[in-house]
Structure 1
Amino acid sequence: MNFAEVLRTSGGLLSWSPSGRFCAVPITARLEIRDSSTLQILVTYNCIDAIQVIEWSPDSNYVLTANYKRNIAEVWSIEDPDWRCKVDEGSAGLIRVIWAPDSRHILTTAEFHLRITVWSLVSKSVSYIKNPKNIPGGLQFSQDKEYLAVAERRDCKDYLSVLETKSWQLVKHFELATRDIAGLQWANDSSVLVVWESPLEYRVLIYSLSGQCLANYSAYQWSLGIKSIAWSPSGQFLAIGSYDQKVRLMNHITWRIISEFCHSSTIDSENCVIYKEVEKPLTGYPATLASVQGLPLVLETTYEEEESRPVSLASITVEPGKQANPRIGVGTLLFSSDNRYLATRNDNMPATVWIWSIPKLALKAILVHANPIKDMAWDSQHPRLALCTGNSHVYFWSPFGCLTVAVPGAPTLQINSLRWHPSGSRVALIGRDQFSVCFFDKQLQLCESISSPQ
């Protein structure tokens, strides 16, 4: 693998275009559009204020930037650099802006979730969606891009509105059997939706587009419930992460739980591989001087396989009732693109990543790191997981094993987030004000695509 030189960014932002041709990089109020292969600057746009949001249109012809403090969103054309569109929400405020699937409409959410506004870039018309509920992910497009589901709150009850994205007409509106909906997600075939309760109650409900409740599942009562939910890419499985440190896997035929994955602090099983990160400290150089100059105190880090059993994993102790949002429970669920693996993180073990084999319904590997995980993401083309922990190293796992790589010539780059290229041929390593790109060898990609063991 090869690395690009370290380049500037701001706010830890970077976005690949869906087509894979471009890379959008902000530098304060300036937006640079770079070639994704060479990272050469193709065009530069000057925005009104510092860029807080970057989002490409689905057809990659436009890129959107926003500044929430100024309540302004701007749209830029890649084909016509002189074309520009500005959306000003004014006194209504702006807290979110997203593209519609047709790449010709944008949706803005007003402050306090007073309304959602649909802006047309073609006809310059405006329409409104009222009473949206103030929850993350309360606005979701279906995978086939034909429908928009909006969670609403009226008369102290939860409702769901389904709109058709071509005309923005209401298709279905029905009441939900929830007390306080916390989120919703479409299945990958766009046939059903899953909604779930706030953490105060464990309840998962599956709805059809007609409003029929197909399933109503609750694992337990009188304790904190659901923390995360994820559909598998095939739509066959629904993973439910909860505060009891378990992941429950539900199948799409009977809507019943087929397996439970427990995140225990003591591992006795010899069927899984445990990798531990081992750091080699900086030697031959005064540590105090290295700290003053901003150099890392760790020169090299590697994975070592732990063969002894049982193995105890470091865990954060949480006292019940002392925290409103306790750092416990499965907060991260990520399926690999081939549906074979599920990567999870139990929040009271922030430095540990668990990888489960879906065909075998068993634990495949555990990665134990020296520092908490900042971000992790699967390659969209291969079963390859990339991780970062806030230092200048990037970590990779695949069915073939583990690897740690230091970004050459970038001792001060602290990688806080990752962005895979749509082709899987490269991954952007992003810090607060710097970034680099890791390019993979084509022969290695071919080898991994030919053989992908379970």
Structure 2
Amino acid sequence: MDFTEAYKQTGPCCFSPNSRFLAIAVDYRLVIRDVASLKVVQLYSCVDKINYVEWALDSEYILCGLYKRPMVQVWSLTQPEWTCKIDEGPAGISNARWSPDSRHILTTSDFQLRLTVWSLVNTACVHVQWPKQISKVVSFTQDGKFAAVCTRRECKDHIILLSCQTWEIMGSFAVDTMDLAGIEWSPDDSAIVIWDSPLEYKVLIYSPDGRCLFKYSAYESGLGVKSIAWSPCGQFLAVGSFDQMLRVLNRLTWKIFAEFMHVPAIRGPSRAVIFKEVDEALQLDMSGLQLSNELSNTVQGSCPENIAESHSRVKYKVMDFPTSLPSQKPPLDKPNPKQGIGLLSWSHDSQYLFTRNDSMPAVLWIWDICHLELVAVLVQKEPIRAAVWDPSGPRVVLCTGTRHVYMWGLRGACSVTVPLSNFLVSDLRWSPDGSCLHLRDRDSFCCAALPSMELGPSDDSSDGDG
């Protein structure tokens, strides 16, 4: 695993969809670097601190959200002198994103006033009234032809379908939710999944014409859905809940075919492998050294008595059954309890998915959907900050805010130490083609290149330290 040197970064970053460029926010400046060499390709100056960065799908344009201004600035990679500013004035901007055609930008104003579609071609704009104030208010089909917008009027949630060619309203229908929390098209564009706020467990599947295909509620009188994710193949829908369970629906029958529990102790028999992060002391063999009496006394007086205790490396240890997992109980007198499936992601071949139960923040669970079983459990010393699948194969990379990067693959797990002084990995992300891994510290970043093959031989995969 090869690392680059550290570069400055104070804001968000984003790989271009073609994986050739990396956009980095440094205060009010946007730095575009070449992924292969990390040389600066373009440098743009915004009017305020950058809060959000997103590339257009054609990798030609890039937008910067300056939400405190509030304003959106757009830059062209091929025409550096070209620029565009979007200012909503007193209405404010809480969210901005590209449309699939890379020539329109959608912004959401504050206070649920309106969603605006801005054209970069003819400066025209289209307004949609009363959008929901949620993190993902719009979802596009995979072919980029339609957009589903979450709105709320007269105390009722509605879905509006827009054509991405003309931006005309193609249809609208009310949905059976108390307070809609999210929306997502299925990968084959044949269905739309929406889910209610945590106060009510409700998952609804609608057809594009507004027919309710399926309604699911696992239980009542408790906090409900916390995370949802379609499998890339579109056959499965994973639902993570506050009751610390993962449920998987079959797209063909809309039935629950798998339920996975996140238990505080794992007991055999089980095919799962439990990897626990431990510190291994480095034993220094000094028996072959011969020092003079004077030099020996100097060394003993200036060095710690136990040199092995001051030098150690991080490794994974394979645990036996039964194994208890570190967990914590959320306080009953505080809102938004840290429990339930807060992190959920599918592998790109749809065969595996990982989860993190927020009441066990230092534990990552990896499940095999084909065999409906637990494959591996990674037990870290610190809470998991981020975890991502390798786009090129079934491999997970994660970080915990330490100097180490942790990996799991089909042949085992290992840890790698970042060879940069005082570099603590707090976030990470892959380039779309899987050729580059971006690692972020608080005010800097570096990139790493991993071999495309799986982790090394199984006899040393559980104790590697890079």
Q: TM-score, with normalisation over the residues of structure 1? A: 0.92
Q: Is there any run of 5+ residues in structure 2 with no aligned partner, and where? A: 285-309, 458-466
Specify the code of the residue in structure 2 equivalent to 1:428: H
Instruction: Select the residue among 305, 315, 327 that pairs with 1:315.
Output: 327
**Alignment correspondent of 1:293:** none
**Alignment correspondent of 1:435:** 445
Q: Percent identity?
A: 45
Specify the code of the residue in structure 2 equivalent to 1:79: T
Instruction: Select the residue among 397, 408, 412 that pairs with 2:422.
Output: 412
Q: Distance in 2 between matches of 1:101 and 1:133?
A: 21
**Alpha-carbon deviation of 1:319?**
4.5
Instruction: Select the residue among 338, 363, 374 that pairs with 2:374.
Output: 363
**Alignment correspondent of 2:288:** none
Distance 1:242 1:82, change over 3 A: same
**Alignment correspondent of 1:276:** 276
**Alpha-carbon deviation of 1:201?**
1.2
Which stretch has the larger CA shift, 430-439 or 354-363? Answer: 430-439
Q: Distance in 1 between matches of 2:43 and 2:334?
A: 46
1:353 is paired with a residue of what secondary structure?
strand
Specify the code of the residue in structure 2 equivalent to 1:407: V
2:376 is paired with a residue of what secondary structure?
strand
Distance 1:174 1:298, change over 3 A: farther
> How big is each residue's C-alpha offset from its partner over 1:202-251, in whole Å with a ceiling of 9 and x where there is no partner?
11110000100000111111111111111000010000100111000100
**Alpha-carbon deviation of 1:298?**
8.6
* Contact 2:411–2:455 under 8 Å retained in 1: no
1:334 is paired with a residue of what secondary structure?
strand
Q: Distance in 2 between matches of 1:338 and 1:42?
A: 34
Q: Is there any run of 5+ residues in structure 1 with no aligned partner, and where? A: 285-296, 449-454
The 5-angstrom pairing of residues 217-296 of structure 1 reads: 217-269=216-268, 270-280=270-280
* Contact 2:184–2:192 under 8 Å retained in 1: yes
* Contact 1:353–1:368 under 8 Å retained in 2: yes
Instruction: Select the residue among 397, 408, 412 that pairs with 2:408.
Output: 397
Distance 1:59 1:239, change over 3 A: same
Q: Distance in 2 between matches of 1:327 and 1:283?
A: 40
Instruction: Select the residue among 327, 330, 336 that pairs with 2:341.
Output: 330
Distance 1:105 1:176, change over 3 A: same
Distance 1:347 1:446, change over 3 A: closer
**Alignment correspondent of 2:317:** 304
* Contact 2:232–2:350 under 8 Å retained in 1: yes
**Alpha-carbon deviation of 1:381?**
1.7
Specify the code of the residue in structure 1 equivalent to 2:183: L
**Alignment correspondent of 1:377:** 388
**Alignment correspondent of 2:89:** 90
Give the total of aligned pairs.
431
* Contact 2:388–2:397 under 8 Å retained in 1: yes
Q: Distance in 2 between matches of 1:299 and 1:159?
A: 57
Q: Distance in 1 between matches of 2:67 and 2:187?
A: 31
Distance 1:201 1:380, change over 3 A: same
Q: CA RMSD in A?
A: 1.9
* Contact 1:371–1:389 under 8 Å retained in 2: yes
**Alignment correspondent of 1:347:** 358
Which stretch has the larger CA shift, 150-159 or 137-146? Answer: 137-146
Q: Distance in 2 between matches of 1:335 and 1:36?
A: 25
* Contact 2:204–2:212 under 8 Å retained in 1: yes
Q: Distance in 1 between matches of 2:275 and 2:335?
A: 33
> How big is each residue's C-alpha offset from its partner over 1:176-216, in whole Å with a ceiling of 9 and x where there is no partner?
11122111111111110111111111111100001000001
Q: TM-score, with normalisation over the residues of structure 2? A: 0.89
Specify the code of the residue in structure 1 equivalent to 2:276: K
**Alignment correspondent of 1:291:** none
> How big is each residue's C-alpha offset from its partner over 1:47-88, in whole Å with a ceiling of 9 and x where there is no partner?
111211111000000111121111111111111111111111
**Alpha-carbon deviation of 1:379?**
1.2
1:386 is paired with a residue of what secondary structure?
strand
Q: Distance in 2 between matches of 1:447 and 1:217?
A: 43
Specify the code of the residue in structure 1 equivalent to 2:426: N
Specify the code of the residue in structure 2 equivalent to 1:413: F
**Alpha-carbon deviation of 1:394?**
0.8
* Contact 1:139–1:148 under 8 Å retained in 2: yes
1:10 is paired with a residue of what secondary structure?
coil
Q: Distance in 2 between matches of 1:80 and 1:119?
A: 20
Which stretch has the larger CA shift, 349-358 or 170-179? Answer: 170-179
* Contact 1:279–1:298 under 8 Å retained in 2: no
Distance 1:167 1:233, change over 3 A: same
> How big is each residue's C-alpha offset from its partner over 1:124-183, in whole Å with a ceiling of 9 and x where there is no partner?
111111111112222211222111111111111111111111111111100111122111
Q: Distance in 2 between matches of 1:372 and 1:441?
A: 27
Q: Distance in 2 between matches of 1:393 and 1:89?
A: 43
Q: Distance in 2 between matches of 1:74 and 1:34?
A: 19
> How big is each residue's C-alpha offset from its partner over 1:254-302, in whole Å with a ceiling of 9 and x where there is no partner?
1000010000001003310000001358999xxxxxxxxxxxx996311
Q: Rg: which structure is higher?
A: 2
